[in-house]
Amino acid sequence: MEFERRAKEVIRSIPRGKVATYAQVATLAGNYKGARQVARVLHSSLDKDRLPWQRVINSRGGISLKRGHGFEEQKRLLIREGVRVDRLGRIELDSFQWEAGGMRRSAAKEFLRKLTQ
Partner DNA sequence: AGTATGACGTTTT
Partner DNA sequence: AAAAACGCCATAC
Residues near DNA, by CB under 7 A? 1, 3-4, 21-23, 31, 33-40, 42-44, 48, 53-54, 56, 58-60, 64-65, 70, 74, 103
Q: In sequence order, what E strands does the chain have?
A: 20-21, 56-57
Q: How far is the CB of 51 from DNA (least distance, A)?
A: 8
Nearer residue to DNA within complex by CB, 70 or 101: 70
- In the bound state with DNA, the residue whose beta carbon lies nearer, of 49 and 117, is 49
Crossing angle of the two packed helices 35-44 and 2-12, in degrees rounded to 10: 80
Cβ proximity to DNA: between 95 and 117 the closer is 95
CB-CB neighbours of 54 under 10 Å: 23
Q: What angle do CA 11, 44, 49 make, to 5 degrees?
A: 55
Q: Is 40 left (phi over 0), alpha (psi -120 to 50) or beta?
A: alpha
Q: How far is the CB of 23 from DNA (least distance, A)?
A: 4
Residue 104 Cβ vs DNA, minimum distance, rounded to whole Å: 12
